[in-house]
Amino acid sequence: MSTKDDQKPILTVQAEASSRSASSSTGLNPQTHLHHLSFWQRLGQSINLVGIGLFLRVLFGKHQWALPHVSVPSIAWLDWEALRRAGFEGCVFDKDNTLTEPYANEVAAQLLPSLRRCQQAFNGRLVLFSNSAGLAQFDPQGKQADALEVALGIPVLRHREKKPAGAAADLEAHFGCSSSKLIMIGDRYLTDVVYGNRHGMLTIRPTPLTTAGEPFAVRMARDVENFFVKRWRGQGNTAPTHPMARKPEALYSFVADNKIALW
């Protein structure tokens, strides 16, 4: 028998998420952190005016934009082969707290095997879409982007607008396909998830790796996001229906072993 919960295309495993978060915060390696970001760059990363405007749109109607299709404790839980079989053609990754700890320039060790599986499944069709490296405003020469490409082994998208603003043209040009065939993976509801859903992408939200090292404004923004996302889900809102994953079962199949689909 189908219940209301069966219809919610959101996967969460909170206990596992918090234990992983705790262990990762203790494994912070200060040697890997980028210290050359100025105060203004960090502040700029924290305050996103266009993002605030889009937040108001989400707040006053487009609740669905903030809700990911799939939530997982980390990308290690994803079945990349299943996502590829479903017809998706490329993966767009946020950086901080999705692949790396905040401001770090190496992939968190516990995520490396999953990232390598992703690269195999998608034949290298991955890109990093950051609100710092590769953004013309903060990285006009692309030096951070160049350094990250070497450090992470993933191409870094050069772009002019911060998530959640901006069109998908740069991404579509990079991958040579419609944004609806791309997967957006990022930890922030109001940047990564809103951006992806605005452009018809499949949105996957991993729990942030750690809040250690994050600016105060980002932590506050997370609290605001979490409050509203919980409220909107409680009201029965779900992510926009994706044409390549219309049923909850399809979304479950994207999680490794299909067995951690706890509500």
Closer CB to Mg ion, 97 or 203, in the complex: 97
- How many residues bind to Mg ion according to rule CB under 5 A? 4
Q: Which is nearer to Mg ion, 139 or 187 (CB)?
A: 187
70 neighbors 9 (Cβ within 8 angstroms): yes
**Within the chain, what is the greatest distance between any pair of CA atoms?**
57
- 94 CB-contact burial (10 Å; exposed 0-12 / middle 13-18 / buried 19+): buried
**Residue 41 CB partners (closer than 8 Å, separation 6+):** 132, 138
Q: In what side-by-side order are the strands of the sheet with 90-93?
A: 70-72, 202-206, 182-185, 90-93, 126-128
Beta carbon of residue 206, minimum distance to Mg ion (angstroms, whole number): 9
Residue 188 Cβ vs Mg ion, minimum distance, rounded to whole Å: 5
Report in angstroms how near the CB of residue 235 gets to Mg ion at its nearest: 26
Residue 124 neighbours by CB distance under 10 Å: 12
Site for Mg ion in 138-197 (CB under 5 A): 187
Q: CB nearer to Mg ion: give 129 or 252.
A: 129
- What are the strands, taking DSSP E only, across 8-157? 70-72, 90-93, 126-128
Q: Which is nearer to Mg ion, 83 or 221 (CB)?
A: 221
Sketch the per residue contact string, 82 through 111, with Mg ion: x for CB under 5 A, - otherwise. Answer: ------------x-xx--------------
Distance in Å, CB of 186 to Mg ion, minimum: 6
**Binding-site ranges for Mg ion (CB under 5 A):** 94, 96-97, 187
